[in-house]
Structure 1
Amino acid sequence: MSEPVAGKFLLEILTKGMYSNPMHIYREYIQNSADSIDKAVEEGVLQPAEAEIHIFIDDKERNIVIRDNGLGIPQDIAKIKLMNVGASDKDGVTERGFRGIGRLGGLAYAEKVQFITSALGDATKTIMTCDCVRMQQLLQKSNNETSDIMETFKAISMFDEQPEDAAKHYFEVRLIGVPKESGLLDEEDAVRYFAETAPIDFDSQQFVQARKIREHFSEKGFPITCYKILRGARRKPIYKLYSRSMTTGKQERTKTKDYVRDVEFIYQEASDGKPLYIGWLAITDFSGVISDEAVQGIRFRKGNILVGNGTTFAKFFPSEGHNANRMFAGEIHVLHDELVPNSQREDFEPSAVYNEMRKTLSEWAGSINKKYRRGTSEATSALRNLTKLNEEQKELEEKIDSGAITSDEKREQIAERLEKIASSREKEEKTVRKALERGTFDNERKETVEKALSQTETATKKVTALNTKIVNAGYATKNDLPSSYSRDERKLYQRIISVIDTYFTDDPKTAEELREKIKTELSVKKK
């Protein structure tokens, strides 16, 4: 009986079949670079401040280069290690990758992929070149040249050795002939992906809460491990995209800015006494859904690399999951060694510890949803409406003084509008005052709230006087016509304006324009 065979089509599954999004291959290479840098620092080969990962994307030549100055692979074991498939020596606990397959992802998105590496003390660099076009040929169902995965992998792989500076240590991935339709060559999209996914730092100049987050995590004993990722020849650093404000609102006309006024922290230990997770939550105005999908939603990270995406946390909200999650921004850094990302890093592997995390985070999600999303959002909306109503009353008062009452119909419309303003304002004022008593508004906003409430008191006191003014105001049309018009003609004109005001009740602007047109036409009485 013949031996069982791991068929060649596994290679297709481990390349293109592994990732729903081509961008995920960037994550795999960055993850490997981070692990290599950690080893280099641990062995004293590299100082943390000198560590860096460099990304070059050449859209014109269709090439991508990802290079780190980590430990590299020694020449004597480089060929064996580069040919291994699913046989990583990483521990899966302190290191981010451990399955030994992520390196193969690029084979599905290039004509050739090269892995170039050298370790400290080696005067030679090892170059492995994988012919991806040849791989696609061998993976055709009608092709019988190879049968198992290793035979196929060997058939597409070539090795070369070249002289190298013995002081250098690095690992470099070169994707040659990347198809434009893959999206991998769009540098702005790639940088945005790195900013969301990679183990990088906040931009302290853009995100003022960055220092507070770093210090808190460090004080708790879990400093956020960050790596310097540089783009292009100008070596421009890539940062996470959090900033001092976030755009909210679904439609362009309703979009506004919510400011990050503070951050709140969460920490939890598992039932076995081990750290389970630590996280931070941005405290904003919570006035609506965060528009920018790169920062929208609470996100999971393991080893400071994104797990899942901005929607993964949604299932932890007891109700309104996706809608609730989109109003928050923050990170949950998973700490427990039994919380392991699945092979596609879209979520975590099922386990008793995962169930424990899900239970505690669901309770926390329910509490912040009640405290911030519903409470603060309602209070912020009421404050905004209160300011708007005060301004609307002021505009109405100016209209009355400038002659807005052109008929009894118009007088009635204005009186009704003032009544609605007063009624709505009373309701919004109660909401704001209750929120102020509960401490919903932070110290930074209290001054704004108190100013709005003071303006509200002034506006409320004016309502009675305004009603009296509306009742006693004469028609503004009284002086519209020259003195040459008779009394009956003036009465007819007043009736016409009254009909216009009634017909255009919902469109006062058009009513006013028609009145002005008629006034102009009648400004000189024709014989």
Structure 2
Amino acid sequence: MKLSKFDIGAEIIAILTKGMYQDPRDALREYIQNAVDADSKNINLKIRQNNITVIDDGTGMDYQTMRKALRIGISDKKPGDDIGFMGIGIYSSYHLCDSLTIYSKINADSPHKLFMDFKAMKDVLTEQKEKRINNQLSGDELIDLQTLLEKYIYLEELDKSDFPTKGTRIEMHQIEQNFSKELQDFDLVASYLRDTIPLHFDKSNFMWGEEIENKIQEICDTHNSKFDLVNLKLQVNSRQEDLYKPYKNSDFHNNTPQKPDFQEIKDEDGFIGVAWGCLNPTRNKIKDKSLRGFLIRKQGFAIGRRENVVKYFNSHTHFDRYVGEIVVTNKELLPNASRDDFEFTNIRIRFYNILTTIGSYYTQISNEFQNSSKAIEDIENIAAKVKEINMEFSRYENNTTKLLEYIVTLNEKLRITNSVVDRKVLEKDLKYKEEVKLIKNSIEMLLDDITDRIGSIKKTQEEEKKQNYIEKKIEHTKEIAKDLSFANIVQKEKEYNSLIELLQDLDIELGSDNETIYNLLDEKFIERASTTKVHYYNLITELKNDILNIMDNK
């Protein structure tokens, strides 16, 4: 069956662009993406009142390239090498502005200008729609796509002086009022671009940025895989900034992200990309909810959202303790038109199978850190408690009840210390591994001393024995103090004055209604069950440990 140009109505341009580019900022991404595909290293995006300009220093376009860019669903770009290859991106601002002007120059050739009158196109289609509603126009009388584009698109050659610099300049004129407010918000535009564009790290505010860039480049070079980043300057009216990836040291507790862990995404059939992840230095979620977990990127451009990746990690808790990216560079793994996933192919199946393994790896690393940090926390608390008892214990103490309380406490601390040793959770940490031995030895010596003191109370000893006993205890005291010198840095565990204070410290989100309920539970049960302020602190601390165990095993 033979088709003609009249079989493709002009309304298709509105349907395609509105469906694919629902967010007005998507058009900015598309034009920046084209600049990256043109090997641009520096891009300027300017938004002033109701006009937007994108300027790049890429290879530029000659007449034939600009003419081919007008084709819909047809592109000369290579799907594996370029991100934009669908053949629709040039029309992405159709709903955003009244007109689009593109200036471009390649090497020493003359520059060219492409003008697209979107307003005139939309006026024609609106008029047709109104006539159709009033039965004044039949389907056969509708304008076809080819005629519409030919009527309102102009391509001409310019003098070299009109656009002397190699590269491309895109101008969007008369931004639609419905989109203007959103595009005039610097922070909204910047946040979108930081998440979607292949930007450099802000190396002055993220301590691992340079190492991550260099490592990914090194791995990609080994596999002959392309990895590019760009410099992007954003100006919205009078505010102007260089944009970087959104990661900062301050996103992590103590402003100290752990050293990045890299994993190659590959199997026996080939290399697909690189994953990197920085773990929080404490057993807490990353502060900024929007940055928790891993983001998939194809050649630096975001694919989908972070929450789409959590299912491959088997644990939301461990996922939220990371900041990281899954950087895909394989030419055959192609993003779909909406950039929220990859096209359904065999390599897509391979990729997600590998991602499951990588997700399990990062979850395991986080779990091991959780266990070791919990053990370190226990050991530090034990060291502080043993040192406290050593300072309080008098070699002349006659109160057997107090001495027995010391023994009960020390036996419990010895049980926890032995558990840490048996589980080997500190095998990789030589510093704490050695300190555990010192703590265990100190507990056992102190138990011996207290037990001996209890025995001495029950019988009368000769003065000589008493003197020898005292000298022995003094020597032990000095040795213990020396072995536990590292414990000076231990801070007393935080005491909470209310249940609400505890829940807020654990990053548990509270609504105003829930806060009233928790205050009531605190007053009716925890406070009422407490006999003293110290008893109340102990109950709250026990509740904290129970909640942490639940969160750690989630």
Query: How does the TM-score come out when normalised to structure 1?
Result: 0.68
Q: Deviations over 1:250-277 (max 9, x none)?
A: xxxxxx44732212222244444x3222
Q: Judge conservation of contact 1:33–1:70 (CA < 8 Å) in 2.
A: yes
Tell me which of 337, 340, 352 is aligned to 1:343.
Answer: 337
**Aligned counterpart, 1:57:** 47
Q: Mean Cα displacement is larger for which, 419-428 or 343-352?
A: 419-428
Cα offset for 1:53?
0.5
Cα offset for 1:27?
1.9
Cα offset for 1:454?
7.2
Q: Judge conservation of contact 1:107–1:130 (CA < 8 Å) in 2.
A: no
Q: Judge conservation of contact 1:390–1:456 (CA < 8 Å) in 2.
A: no
**Aligned counterpart, 1:241:** 246
Cα offset for 1:215?
3.4
Tell me which of 174, 177, 182 is aligned to 2:175.
Answer: 177
Tell me which of 290, 293, 298 is aligned to 2:294.
Answer: 298
Cα distance in structure 1, aligned partners of 2:421 and 2:95? 57
Q: Write out aligned runs for 1:73-472 (5 A).
A: 73-74=61-62, 76-77=63-64, 80-132=67-119, 134-135=121-122, 138-139=125-126, 141-143=129-131, 146-158=142-154, 163-165=159-161, 167-175=164-172, 176-178=174-176, 179-180=178-179, 183-220=182-219, 221=221, 222=225, 224-232=227-235, 236-244=241-249, 246-247=251-252, 256-257=253-254, 259-272=256-269, 274-285=270-281, 287-317=283-313, 319-320=314-315, 322-370=316-364, 372-381=365-374, 383-384=376-377, 427=416, 430-431=419-420, 434=423, 436-439=425-428
Quickly say closer, same or farther: Cα 1:124–1:362, change in 2 above 3 A: closer
Cα offset for 1:450?
7.3
Cα distance in structure 2, aligned partners of 1:293 and 1:87? 39
Matched residue SS, 1:262:
coil
Quickly say closer, same or farther: Cα 1:117–1:503, change in 2 above 3 A: closer
Matched residue SS, 2:352:
helix
Cα distance in structure 1, aligned partners of 2:129 and 2:12? 13
Quickly say closer, same or farther: Cα 1:96–1:384, change in 2 above 3 A: same
Q: Judge conservation of contact 2:70–2:90 (CA < 8 Å) in 1.
A: no
Cα distance in structure 2, aligned partners of 1:387 and 1:90? 60
Matched residue SS, 1:135:
helix
- Could you tell me which runs of 5 or more consecutive residues in structure 1 were left unpaired when the two chains were aligned: 39-50, 248-255, 399-410, 469-501, 513-527
Cα offset for 1:312?
3.1
Cα offset for 1:200?
1.7
Whichever residue aligns with residue 96 of structure 1, its letter is I
Matched residue SS, 1:345:
coil
Quickly say closer, same or farther: Cα 1:428–1:352, change in 2 above 3 A: farther
Q: Deviations over 1:304-330 (max 9, x none)?
A: 22222222322323x33x554333222
Cα offset for 1:197?
1.8
Quickly say closer, same or farther: Cα 1:426–1:70, change in 2 above 3 A: same
Matched residue SS, 2:274:
strand
Q: Judge conservation of contact 1:309–1:346 (CA < 8 Å) in 2.
A: yes
Matched residue SS, 1:15:
helix
Whichever residue aligns with residue 99 of structure 1, its letter is M
Whichever residue aligns with residue 329 of structure 1, its letter is V
Query: How does the TM-score come out when normalised to structure 2?
Result: 0.65
Matched residue SS, 2:327:
strand
Q: Judge conservation of contact 1:290–1:327 (CA < 8 Å) in 2.
A: yes
Quickly say closer, same or farther: Cα 1:454–1:108, change in 2 above 3 A: farther
Matched residue SS, 2:147:
helix
Tell me which of 523, 530, 542 is aligned to 1:506.
Answer: 530
Matched residue SS, 2:356:
helix
Cα offset for 1:34?
0.6
Cα distance in structure 1, aligned partners of 2:158 and 2:388? 79
Cα distance in structure 1, aligned partners of 2:24 and 2:414? 53
**Aligned counterpart, 1:69:** 57
Cα root mean square deviation, aligned = 4.4
Q: Judge conservation of contact 1:214–1:223 (CA < 8 Å) in 2.
A: no
Q: Deviations over 1:181-205 (max 9, x none)?
A: 6623321222222222211212222
Matched residue SS, 1:366:
helix
Cα offset for 1:164?
4.3
**Aligned counterpart, 1:19:** 21
Q: Judge conservation of contact 2:111–2:164 (CA < 8 Å) in 1.
A: no
Q: Judge conservation of contact 2:250–2:256 (CA < 8 Å) in 1.
A: yes
Q: Deviations over 1:333-359 (max 9, x none)?
A: 223322111111111111112212222
Whichever residue aligns with residue 332 of structure 2, its letter is E
Cα offset for 1:453?
9.4
Q: Judge conservation of contact 1:214–1:224 (CA < 8 Å) in 2.
A: no
Whichever residue aligns with residue 259 of structure 2, its letter is D
Q: Deviations over 1:116-152 (max 9, x none)?
A: 3333334444141333475166157335674333334
**Aligned counterpart, 1:518:** none
Cα distance in structure 2, aligned partners of 1:503 and 1:86? 69
Matched residue SS, 2:107:
coil
Q: Judge conservation of contact 1:269–1:276 (CA < 8 Å) in 2.
A: yes
Matched residue SS, 1:353:
helix
Q: Mean Cα displacement is larger for which, 502-511 or 149-158?
A: 502-511
Quickly say closer, same or farther: Cα 1:503–1:284, change in 2 above 3 A: closer
Whichever residue aligns with residue 266 of structure 1, its letter is Q
Cα distance in structure 2, aligned partners of 1:263 and 1:224? 18
Aligned length: 436
Whichever residue aligns with residue 204 of structure 2, its letter is Q
Higher helix share: 2
Whichever residue aligns with residue 177 of structure 1, its letter is I
Matched residue SS, 2:325:
strand
Cα distance in structure 2, aligned partners of 1:99 and 1:503? 65
**Aligned counterpart, 1:7:** 9
Matched residue SS, 2:92:
helix
Cα offset for 1:162?
5.1
Q: Write out aligned runs for 1:478-517 (5 A).
A: 506=530, 508=532
Q: Judge conservation of contact 1:126–1:161 (CA < 8 Å) in 2.
A: yes
Matched residue SS, 2:244:
coil
Cα offset for 1:365?
1.4
